[in-house]
Chain A
């Protein structure tokens, strides 16, 4: 997956951990933006206002 199969054992391991790290950063930023944009509207909706 993501073309990392061609790398050697140690490089592949480092690439895998790096990918998980990048995904975590992207998720943190992405969901943060989503929360700030949609959060108040969702809270209003769920709160029955």
Chain B
């Protein structure tokens, strides 16, 4: 069989194709694509540490590319970013230790899978509900408005409460808001813990956390989030690589495919209305949750065939949504119409 750097061509094509789908989703929605990598690797039978570590390395590579694209937008609060990195690093280390400990007990796969089902299912249900309701909310868009300024009415109540704790040292962030460093470290630790435990960049948790819990304006939250993902992904993959958890034969083709897909997806944002596709995105997350649940049921019942059903669900749902994005973009181009969704990635 044809091999490149010792990797069978079929594996290269499969991962590059999967990466392409994920890239289209990431480029279009600005989030969520990488969330499918770790469950897919778990379903394919990779050990938990390889699934999580390679997922993190993929997130690192993707965020390097996204950060390069956003470097000129000036939407990064470096003071906040560095503070977040400190808290996130500790959280990542603790998350990794929990995974390694659970792996020793033989429980890692089960617990990571269950957490995935709850998180993916919860976010998927929320996005689908919001899409059906017809609101523009749901999901975490990386669309940004450079001119947005902070308004006291725009700060969520929880953030106002957190900002009211004046435990020194206090940090003054962009937008003029003051927050205790300890509050920032606590939020960063919690999101880092989830990153390390699930093998995700944590953007889908950190971006809303920065906005809802700390009160950072959305454009700054997006820029700082990307900056932070680059570091948390890099540190996380380094920690896992030390335990042999990063497999380049998985990460390299995934990244090659996703970088191309991200360009297709981000080009589509200027043509297709995101709200038209959002319901598919919610359904994809729900199907992802179902896929992990099916795999767990297969393990419990000793039915190996359910592993294949699960993998088909993950690949099928990613294919469905990426296909819907490309189809809508082509349809709009042919019709000569343009959408209104701004491009961030």
Please give the residue numbers on chain A whose beta carbons come within 8 Å of chain B beta carbons, in ascending order. Answer: 1-2, 9-10, 12-14, 16-17, 19-21, 23-25, 27-28, 31, 35, 43, 46-48
Residue in B68, B263, B334 whose beta carbon sits within 8 Å of that of A35 in the complex:
B263
Known pairs A14-B238, A21-B61; A27 contacts B246 (CB<8 A): no
Cα of A8 to Cα of B66 in the assembled complex, Å: 31
Q: Check if A17 sits within 8 Å of B60, measured CB to CB.
A: yes
Which 8 A-B pairs give the minimum distances between C-beta atoms? Answer: A13-B241, A27-B259, A24-B64, A24-B61, A13-B242, A47-B333, A16-B241, A20-B61
Give per-residue flags for B60-104: 1 if the beta carbon is below 8 A from chain A beta carbons, else 0: 111011001100000000000000000000000000000000000
Please give the residue numbers on chain B whose beta carbons come within 8 Å of chain A beta carbons, in ascending order. Answer: 5-7, 57, 60-62, 64-65, 68-69, 234, 237-239, 241-242, 246, 248-249, 251-252, 255-256, 259-260, 263, 330, 333-334, 336
Chain A hits for B242, CB < 8 A: 9-10, 13
Q: Check if A27 sits within 8 Å of B65, measured CB to CB.
A: yes
CB distance from A6 to the nearest CB of B (A): 15
Q: Check if B237 sits within 8 Å of A31, measured CB to CB.
A: no
Q: Check if A16 sits within 8 Å of B237, measured CB to CB.
A: yes
Chain A hits for B334, CB < 8 A: 47-48
Known pairs A31-B259, A31-B263; A12 contacts B241 (CB<8 A): yes
Q: Check if B255 sits within 8 Å of A27, measured CB to CB.
A: yes
Subset of 14 A-B contacts with CB under 8 Å? A1-B6, A2-B248, A16-B57, A17-B234, A17-B238, A20-B255, A21-B60, A21-B64, A24-B62, A27-B259, A27-B260, A28-B69, A28-B259, A47-B334
